[in-house]
């Protein structure tokens, strides 16, 4: 099972194909060796193949930002897991808060996307997190638990392509106001305990990423927390030097 800490760039709806090419051309020589950590970028669908070709034999990997919950058929605009595998994707984000909020994705749809990904051997990164209001009401643990349980319901753990999670508090995404390492660790520990219950004996090896306003200045302190096993980076991943600095941060103690 791949337990290397994972650094994942979520480019969202930024960077056209030519910009992806120039980003990666600059980033490849700056990226850390993939021996003790995994690094992947998630461009938008039209640039996935270009990214895969450029990253071939570099040890760096490609992720998609979303997928369709069905295998094939009349789903205009949909992109299936098999299509992603065919263009060289290894990971796919599932249930990002943008998708939950703007496209009204609910827990049931997200569970189906998890299944669609794992059926094809794609490694899903399930995103969960509470809103500012839910945190203020003291409902963080309850909200995250519900999201995790619903999305993982009936999803087997594939040892070769183990799913990962990303805790992304909605209030921390794109705001410049990330969770403190202690705030993040508290929720990561809770998610780890839940995973222990869902996948007994195997939860310690599963990666739980933190996402939300991560920068090169905050990366090392976050990674020093015992239950933080990677970072999902939006804004600060749009510039090669800044994402490389994050990917090169000192690693913490890793999974307990
Ligand atoms: P951010 O985005 O780093 O800009 O907060 C993170 C994400 O949405 O995945």
* Domain extents in the chain: 6-247
Q: Are 63 and 8 in contact (CB under 8 A)?
A: yes
Q: Give tens-digit pLDDT for 95-121.
A: 999 999 999 999 999 999 999 999 999
**Domain 6-247, what architecture?**
Alpha-Beta Barrel (3.20)
Burial 130-155 (b: 16+ CB within 10 A, else e): bbeebbeeeebeebbeebbebbbeeb
Average pLDDT over all residues of the chain:
96
Q: Are 254 and 229 in contact (CB under 8 A)?
A: yes
Q: Give tens-digit pLDDT for 163-176.
A: 999 999 999 999 99
Question: What span, in angstroms and rounded, lies between the C-alpha atoms of 138 and 132?
Answer: 10
Active site includes 186?
no
| Nearest Cα residue to atom 7 of ligand 1 | 234
Residue 256 — pLDDT band, cuts 50, 70, 90?
very low
Q: How many CB atoms lie within 10 A of CB 21?
A: 16
For ligand 1, say whether the CB of 218 is within 6 Å of any of its atoms: no
Q: Give tens-digit pLDDT for 139-160.
A: 999 999 999 999 999 999 988 8
Residue 3 — pLDDT band, cuts 50, 70, 90?
very high
Residue 253 — pLDDT band, cuts 50, 70, 90?
low
Q: Give tens-digit pLDDT for 114-135.
A: 999 999 999 999 999 999 999 9
Nearest to 121 by CA among 87, 85, 152: 85
Active site includes 96?
yes
Q: Give, for ligand 1, the residue of 100, 170, 212, 230 to mutate: max count of ligand atoms closer than 8 Å to Cβ.
A: 212
Answer whether residue 255 shows pLDDT above 50.
Answer: no
| Nearest Cα residue to atom 1 of ligand 1 | 234
| Nearest Cα residue to atom 2 of ligand 1 | 234
For ligand 1, say whether the CB of 10 is within 6 Å of any of its atoms: yes
Answer whether residue 36 shows pLDDT above 60.
Answer: yes
Pick the catalytic residue from 96, 105, 185, 188.
96
Instruction: Find the 237 Cα to ligand 1 centroid distance in Å.
Output: 9
């Amino acid at each position: 099972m791949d337990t290397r800490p994972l650094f994942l760039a979520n480019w969202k709806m930024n960077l056209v194909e030519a910009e992806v090419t120039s980003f990666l051309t600059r980033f490849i020589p700056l990226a850390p060796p993939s021996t003790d950590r995994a690094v992947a970028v998630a461009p938008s669908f039209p640039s996935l193949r270009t990214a895969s070709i450029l990253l071939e034999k570099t040890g760096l990997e490609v992720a998609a930002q979303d997928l369709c919950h069905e295998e094939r058929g009349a789903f205009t605009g949909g992109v299936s897991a098999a299509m992603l595998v065919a263009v060289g994707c290894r990971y796919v984000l599932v249930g990002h808060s943008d998708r939950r909020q703007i496209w009204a994705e609910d827990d049931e749809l997200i569970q189906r996307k998890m299944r669609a990904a794992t059926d094809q051997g794609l490694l899903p990164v399930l995103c969960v997190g509470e809103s500012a209001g839910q945190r203020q009401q003291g409902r963080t643990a309850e909200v995250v638990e519900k999201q995790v349980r619903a999305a993982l319901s009936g999803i087997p753990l594939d040892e070769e392509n183990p799913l990962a999670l990303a805790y992304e508090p909605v209030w921390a995404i794109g705001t410049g106001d990330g969770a403190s390492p202690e705030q993040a660790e508290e929720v990561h520990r809770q998610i780890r305990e839940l995973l222990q219950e869902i996948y007994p004996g195997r939860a310690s090896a599963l990666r739980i990423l933190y996402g939300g306003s991560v920068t090169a200045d905050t990366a090392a302190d976050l990674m020093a927390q015992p239950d933080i096993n990677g970072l999902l980076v939006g804004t600060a991943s749009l510039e090669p030097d800044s994402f490389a600095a994050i990917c090169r941060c000192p690693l913490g103690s890793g999974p307990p």
